[in-house]
Every structure is written in C-alpha cells, then in structure tokens.
Structure 1
Amino acid sequence: MLKRLLSSMSFNTRVLKVDPSSIHFSPTAHIDGSLPTITDPETKKNLMEAANIIRETDNIVGFPTETVYGLGGSSLNDNSVLNIYKAKNRPSDNPLISHVSSIDLLNRRIFGNKHKTDVLENIPKIYHPLIEKLWPGPLTVLLPVPPNSNLSKLTTADQPTFAVRIPSNPVARALIALSDTPIAAPSANQSTRPSPTLASHVYHDLNGRIPIILDGGACNVGVESTVVDGLVSPPLLLRPGGFTWEQIRSMGGSQWSTCKVENKKTIAEGEKVRTPGMKYRHYSPRAKVILFVPERSEMPTEERLQYVKNIIKEESKGIQKYALLSTLTFPSNLVEEQNCICEQLGSSRKEIQTNLFAYLRKLDEEEKVDLIFVEGIEDENEGLAVMNRLRKAASHNIVPF
C-alpha cells in the first residue's frame, strides 16, 4: 500500500523566498535551543509553512544549508524518510545525516532526556573540543544510537550509530528550531547527480516530487559536511568536506592529532557504510567527466600541458560540444576550439570548492555539453574534499598529468 502511495505522489512544487539576514539567533541558541527572531514577515511565514510540513506530515522540503541544499524530512518518521529515498531515487542502505538546531533538541528528541544537568552528557568527550569550536557548522559526528530511541532505523540504515550536525545556515537552523524536529537531510538532488548549491538546482532535479523549496540564495561552502568518527581508535575522517582534515587535527586536541582519513576505494557488495557518500556513484553530471590528476610533477610544465592537450584532442574527437574546467595550473588558452567552453573553477582551493558543483551543473544542464574535462588539484586542505568529489564524478576516467 505504501509503495503504491509513494509512486503516485506528485506535487506542484513551489519555490518560496526566505531572507537569511532577517533571522537572528542568540549566541547560546545552538546549546539551549532558544528560538530565533525573524524580522521579515514573508520569511517567517514561509519558514512556518515548511516547519509545519516537517512536524505534522510525512512530506519533505528542500532547504539551504551552508554546505549544499538539503532534502529534509523528520528523522523520527519512517514515512518521511521513505519519501526522501523515493524523491531522490536513493538506495535505502545509504544512511542519512540528522540535522538539529541545538544540543538541547538532540538531547530531548533523539536521546529522550528532557532535563540534563550536563548538556554534553550524550556526546562522547572526544568530540567536545571539535563541537565547541566547529558547531554550528559543516561538521558531522557519529554517535551511538541510544536504547529505545525514536530515531527511525531508516535514517541509520539500521546501524548502531547515527550521524548528526548543527548547520550554521540561519534558514536551516530556523527550520529545524521552528519544527522542533531532527531533520534527516541528504543533498536535494537526484541520486548520483552533482549536489545542488542553488534553489534552481533543486527545482531542476525535484520539480513535482516535493511540495516546496526554500530559496535562501547560494550555499557558501559548496560541498557537503565533513564526517568524523571518534568512536574508533584512532579516530577517522570518513568524508572530507566543509572543514579540512588539517583543521580537524589542529582543533580537536591531542586525540585528533592521530586522525586518519578513510581511504577505501571500493565498498564490497552488502557491506554497510557509516556515512553518506562512501558506497555509490556520486556527484556525476550526465556528461562524461575526465579528471586530470596532478601526479607527474617531475615533468617540465610545458611537457605536462602538451600531454594534456593531446589527451583532450584525442578524447574530444567527434564530440559536438565539450568543456574544460581549469584550476591552478592550466592557462586560459590551453584549448582554443570553438566547440569547447573554457571556465576557471577558481584561483584558490576554497574558491574551487565553493564553485565545483555549480559549474558542473551549469555545463551539464544549461550548456548541455557532452564531455567535461577537469583539472584536479593536490589532495591537501580543501583539495581533499574537492578531489573526493571529482574522483567519484569521473569514476574510472582519471588521467595523471
């Protein structure tokens, strides 16, 4: 019955404007759960409508975070979580991150503790230095699922841990706070596609599949949150993201100085994963992506660039329209063919990270190119997250240069 209901669901998707600058939280709201003040009436009205959907129905909404746009439903409601998987065409063994607006909300709604003398009692001490510095923000931590928890097993993919974070985007925080509900939210795109960083990206992928999208402007981080596991020794960085591995090690104290990076290239069939982004094809436009990875530093620059030009010339034969996204090394005139669109992702690693998904989507959805060449960057600082996404977008189409 439920499967028939989900397959018949169709919406007239509305995009509702919200003004992030009109939303104000107290300095301690992320701890004590105090509600925001909202000075713009339209923003307040639209947020209340979205919060009511989350709190009172099985439906889901698109909303901005600082990382990418999320597709949110109640983490406590099996039907809401099923609707997330349905809208995205997402495999159900891929766990979801629960977003909370405060530690108070985490304690009350997930751990079932209404009155705590120590608000951090449910969070292992290894995480305390990190969350004191990096929450609210693009940091997700793994916690043990509490006994008799209301958390939907569909959110955790029936695993003993769950992933949680407090976003810093004021629209996301307000939506969660006003709904008083932990929100399970993967990226608001069709599964395997590049993550959305604009409301228009969400509309492109999910029009007719969800009732509303809150449009709060562009996401300023541009890639998903960093996911860490402090329940193992040494602790692990499971997914690079908005905070770098270097930041985690330096801000987490002595226990995080030995933090390792999860380096599995493949996941075995039937193997459970602890965080999104580890198991399935991700971040891929419809166009084929060929990634140039900087690994031949011993070669003179001129020879490396000529090697790249030869690869581009060979791979683009017979292609009607293609693109080249350069980063830190390729000159703007590396390719001068009329059927090639040349764009620079950015002049710094942070800028490249912010622009990555937006450029992939622009070339795929607006320019409708058939092939995208991308110049990769070194796997350090923001480069770790950028290259994690690009390697998955390119799949096996990787060329060292």
Structure 2
Amino acid sequence: MIKRSIITRLMHTKILKVEPQTIHFPSNSWIDGTLPSFDNEDTEKAISEAALIIRDTDETVAFPTETVYGLGGSSLNDNAVRNIYKAKNRPSDNPLISHIASIDQLNRTIFNDNRVGEGLDPLRNIPEIYHPLIRKLWPGPLTILLRVPEPTSLSKLTTVNQPTFAVRMPSDPIARALIAISDTPIAAPSANASTRPSPTRAQHVWHDLQGKIPLILDGGACSVGVESTVVDGLCNPPKLLRPGGLTFENIVSLGGEQWAQCQVETHAKKNEQVRTPGMKYKHYSPSARVVLLVPAQNNNNSYYTSNDKILVLQNIIKKESQDSKKIAILTTQQLDQMNSKDLSSSNEKAQFIIQSLGTTGEEIQANLFATLRQVDEEDKVDLIFVEGINEDNQGLAVMNRLEKAAGGNCIPF
C-alpha cells in the first residue's frame, strides 16, 4: 500500500510524458489478458506509477484514450469512485463507464468468473447480440450495457444502483497498459470539470483539475476527439444511447441482423434515471455563450451557397452579439473560406476570431473540443458561433455535443 503521506504529496498534480508508440500488445491480448511490452523505460515507469495509484489507493489518475482523456479510479473501490465524482463536481446520479484491458479481466474482476479450460467461450458472460460488434470493434470506442452480475465486486456507485453497467475496452495503448498492469477495471468519465468541454490534450486536464488529482499521463492529442459510442443490446430493438467515436452507420453495418433495427435514443425522459453518461445533464460547455448554427435546407432541398450563408450569418451576428467584444466563429463546410472582413459590418465594435474545425466529419470531430477550449480559455472570447453539419456519420456525435454545449441556443442556418 502507498502511505497516506505520499498520496498527499502527489495531490500537487504531476504530469508524466508517455510514448504510446513504445507500448506493444500481442494480437490476442484483448481476449486472454497478456501484458504489454515496452521499448521505453520512462513510459513503463510512468504507467507503473499510475497503476499503483489505481490498484492500491483511493486516488484517481488522468490518462489518454483514443476518444478523450479519462479521469480514472478503480471500479471496485467505492472511495475511488467517490473521488472521481468529487474531482469533477459531477452529479452523483450520473453513472460511469468501466474500462477493461481484456475479456479475461472482465470475466475475473467483474463477473467473478475464474473458470479456465479448453472449450470455454471467453465471451460467455456477454449476450450474443454484442458478439459481432465486440469481435470487430474492440478494442475501440464502443461501450456496451451489461447486466450487473450477482455477486460482483463492481462498486454500486459506478452504476448508481441500477441493474446494468457500462463497459468498454479502449484501443489507446496507454489506457490499455494502465488497466492491464493495474489489473483493475477503471471507472473513467472524461477528465474535465463537470459541464466543461471534454479534454483531448493533457493541458486541458491540467486547466480543470490541477491540485485535485495526483497524476496526469500525457500521451499527446486524442485521435478520435469525442467520447465512445454507447449501445444497449439488452432491449428490443437495441438502441444507440450516445453517439460517439463509432457512427450509427458503423453499428448497423457491422452488428449483423439484430442491429438492423437499432434506434437512436440520446435523451433521457423527464424524471428517468439515466443508463449511461451524456443523456441528461448540460455538457461540453465553454464559459462563453455558444450559438449553434443548425443546417437548414431551402425549398429546392439543396444547400445555400457560401455567399448566401455569409449574408445569413451577418444578420444573426447583428441580433446575437450586441454586447459582445470578442467573437469566435468556428467554421466547417460552408464557411471555410470566410474571413473577418466579411463580418466587420455585423458588429464594428467586436474583434472576430475565425477558426476552422475542418471540412470532413473526422476532422471536425477530432478538433471540436480542443478548438472550443482554445477560443474560450486562451482567446477568451465572450461569444462563440459554431457552424453545424448534417447528422449523418460523424455528424450525429458532433451535433449531439454542440447542442449540449449551446444549451439549446440553436438557430436555423
């Protein structure tokens, strides 16, 4: 056990650089739990230090995944889970996702199933409806809902006393190595202050949580840029509860016949207990006010030209920005050629910052949270306009995050 005096010292938040490319997993390790090898001694030491905190203390560690940075504590430890909620100031009725490194670890630590032997199906504790998705998409940004087994070592605080729990296996080698070496399923929401944009870089975590957690593993920028996709295969028809790093189209095309009728249900009903994060509370919001420009179509069912869009935007800015002195415009597909001269007449007193999120769904998704944080925390704007995109492919997850960031302040565009 780490002594309490050491834990207190670690609360002066430390950042340790780690190199994901120096971590290597055997191809079948996602099933059998074989530990990774390391080419870099400093990376191995940093992950071992973080694993010790996870396994032997009540404290939490921030670490990168392919989606966003997570704030992790043992899913088996009530006090560690309480510290996650405390550090984030997260509502206590908002459940957490448990992260695993292998199917073997899931069986042993959550299902208390230590059976070994030839002929045993490693997926025996997972309903068959998930098997096609798991075999094709794990490790990766897919979270599934499972029934809580009896008995289980899983903390009820991760599930908020519900009969189901959410679990995923991240593909990021740093995350997988941390979970594997600690041999502990890790409850890990995004490593940000509650309601803030999710962190996709270590400095975002530092901005929100310095002094509240002992350690941040810095593995660089996250590649996906939004949280995992959450699906529920325990109901009929199955449902997509949170769009994310895997598209709805991915789920339907790869899931087989049982997922052909999958429905999208991303908002909890009034007074309904949420089954997974992201369904109820205000999320992803900068300090600045956000206005989401929702794509609109004309009567001919074709898009307006870029010049038309700029004229529409000028009128929106006039109405929305009377008291604003510094305004950010985050562009995507229609406004990507716009410059500040196009907008100066809309508010002559304001300074405009125009930033592109990218033009493809992958680019926009990857850049979304980092750009929101940049204009808010570094440029210190007081108003942010974001050009939305169509809700297909990555657009479903992007618009889900932006609608929550705008708090319903959405304008047809």
Aligned equivalents of 1:347, 1:373: Cα separation in 2: 16
Contact 1:103-1:120 at 8 Å conserved across structures: yes
Q: Deviations over 1:343-379 (max 9, x none)?
A: 1100201100000000000011100100000000000
TM-score when normalising by structure 1: 0.95
Q: Among residues 223, 229, 232, which one is paired with 2:226 in the alignment?
A: 223
- Give the Cα separation in 1 of the matches to 2:108 and 2:241: 27
Off by >6 Å, runs of 4+ in structure 1: none
- Greater CA drift, 143-152 or 299-308: 299-308
User: Could you tell me whether the CA contact under 8 Å between 1:296 and 1:304 is conserved in 2?
Assistant: no
State the partner residue of 2:62. Answer: 62
Structure 1 counterpart SS, 2:386: strand
3-state SS in 2 of match to 1:399: strand
Report whether the alignment pairs 1:52 with 2:52.
yes
Structure 2 counterparts to residues 87-166 of structure 1, below 5 A: 87-116=87-116, 117-166=120-169
* SS of match in other structure, 1:373: strand
Question: What pairs with 1:311-326 in structure 2 (closer than 5 Å)?
Answer: 311-326=316-331
Amino acid at match of 2:17: K
Q: Indicate the SS of the match to 1:62.
A: strand
Structure 1 unmatched ranges of 5 or more: 1-7
Q: In structure 1, the residue corresponding to 2:241 is in which secondary structure? A: strand
The one-letter amino acid of 1:30's match is W
Q: Which amino acid aligns with 1:278?
A: M
Q: What is the SS of the residue equivalent to 2:152?
A: coil
Amino acid in structure 2 at the alignment position of 1:374: V
**1:385 is paired with a residue of what secondary structure?**
helix
**C-alpha RMSD of matched pairs (Å):** 1.4
Whether 1:239 aligns to 2:251 is: no
**Matched residue SS, 1:82:** helix
Alpha-carbon distance between aligned partners in 1 of 2:34 and 2:304, rounded to the nearest angstrom: 59
> Which residue of structure 1 aligns with residue 347 of structure 2?
none
Match of residue 292 from structure 2: 291
In structure 1, what is the equivalent of residue 394 of structure 2? 382
| TM-score, normalization by structure 2 | 0.93
CA distance in 1, matches of 2:330, 2:363: 13
Q: 1:360 aligns with which of 372, 385, 391?
A: 372
1:234: how far off? 0.5
- AA aligned to 1:71 is L
| Of 339, 342, 352, the match for 2:354 | 342
* Mapped partners of 1:9, 1:297: distance in 2: 61
Q: Percent identity?
A: 62
Q: Report the CA distance between 1:396 and its aligned residue.
A: 2.0
> 2:5 maps to what in 1?
none
Structure 2 residues without counterparts, runs of 5 or longer: 1-7, 345-349
Q: 2:383 aligns with which of 362, 371, 391?
A: 371
**Number of residue-to-residue matches in the alignment:** 392
